Amino acid sequence: MARTQVGIIGAGPAGLLLSYLLHSEGIDAVVIEARSREYVERRVRAGVCEHPTVELLREIGVGARLDAEGLPHHGFSLRFDREDHRIALSELTEKTITVYGQQEIVKDLIAAHEAKGYPVEFEVSDVELHGIEDRPRVTYRDADGVSRVLDCDVIAGCDGFHGVSRPSMPGLKAVDREYPFAWLGVLARTPPSHEELIYTYHERGFALHSMRSPEITRLYLQVPVDEKIEEWSDDRIWSELSARLETAGGFSLSEGPILDKGITPMRSFVAEPMQYGRLFLAGDSAHIVPPTGAKGMNLAVADVRVLSRALVDLLQHGRSELAESYSDTCLRRVWRAEHFSWYMTSMLHIDPDGGDFQRRLQLSQLRYTASSRAAATSLAENYVGLPFG
């Protein structure tokens, strides 16, 4: 039997960042993860880091590679009516976003744990949570199949939507919405065709031009929710992207070998409350947002920032106020991000059941946003990231 102050389930950005923040404040923590280190370091996920996320990573000393390799962006384009309408983030908010893959942040945090000797166990199985009301304990099998027991003061569930933490929590109220479309995402070895992100509204469906580096482009297409990836050849993908990203002035889409492709369903989900007894949820274990607003990873970082301060106050100073208010504090920001993500999604995607009325409303909103400084500022403030709670 082992003992730690905080048992952290999941070695994604939420779990690793929480562990690093706690260790930096003198709190013992152990991270356990079902997948292998290679898997979590290669898992392609979000790529847009909000301004507060970047500032936090720099503040704690794990932002060096982000600063060297990340791509700062001062704006992005809303493309509709076959024209670009730029949202000038820096001009409107004096802040930027940085394109830097979630898996790169995971690599940086794992390397930082390794350098300082902070424990992370990969390839564990049969994870179960016990005594979460007042005497928490985690049981699991390690990578060698040996049964382990980890006694904790607190458990942090950072193990994602399909993890064991949320089902272990009684009395949850879940609010859920599934969208009638999905994203087909591709990673291509080709230089980006534009220096900034392009969010495209098109009668054939939404498209997004993004990037991961000066050599790697990330692109998305709206597809039916029941679409099969086998039906999308590389040639079909490039043809559809070209059609949707076309502009009146001409737009040259850079093509190249497709390294990875897959279809992701879209949903909004919130579980309330985010805490019970000595179990606290953070990140995707508590909430999911559609990716249009680029909020998923950033929302996990915001949760963890609040939770780390609450646990330091609880475990070092015996003060429980921040821990008791953790869920309420986080949910205010969660619901703001949920609304923004829904807003971006509903404004830019073609609803198969929406008809001409909805499409005219969408164009009206897009034209207003592009022509009104107040509307553009509201979008920009939410996009670059609101302050942590």
How do residues 89-99 score in pLDDT, each as one tens digit? 999 999 999 99
Q: Pick the more confident residue, 47 or 324.
A: 324
Coil, helix or strand for 86? strand
The pLDDT value given to residue 42: 86
Per CATH, 2-72+101-175+268-343 and 179-266+350-384 having the same topology is answered no
The contacts of residue 46 (CB under 8 Å, 6+ apart) are 101, 102, 291, 294, 296, 297, 298
Distance of alpha carbon 267 from alpha carbon 183, whole angstroms = 11
Judge: domain 2-72+101-175+268-343, CATH 3.50.50.60.
Answer: yes
Residues labelled catalytic: 73, 199, 291, 295, 383
Distance of alpha carbon 105 from alpha carbon 57, whole angstroms = 9
The arithmetic mean of pLDDT across residues 254-259, rounded, is 96
Residue 364, classified by CB atoms within 10 Å of its CB into exposed (0-12), middle (13-18) or buried (19+), is exposed
pLDDT in tens, 272-288: 999 999 999 999 999 99
Q: How confident is the model at residue 389 (pLDDT cuts 50, 70, 90)?
A: low
The contacts of residue 317 (CB under 8 Å, 6+ apart) are none
Provide the residue ranges of all domains of the chain, joining segments of one domain with +. Answer: 2-72+101-175+268-343, 179-266+350-384
Q: How confident is the model at residue 45 (pLDDT cuts 50, 70, 90)?
A: confident
The arrangement of secondary structure in 179-266+350-384, i.e. its CATH architecture, is: 2-Layer Sandwich (3.30)
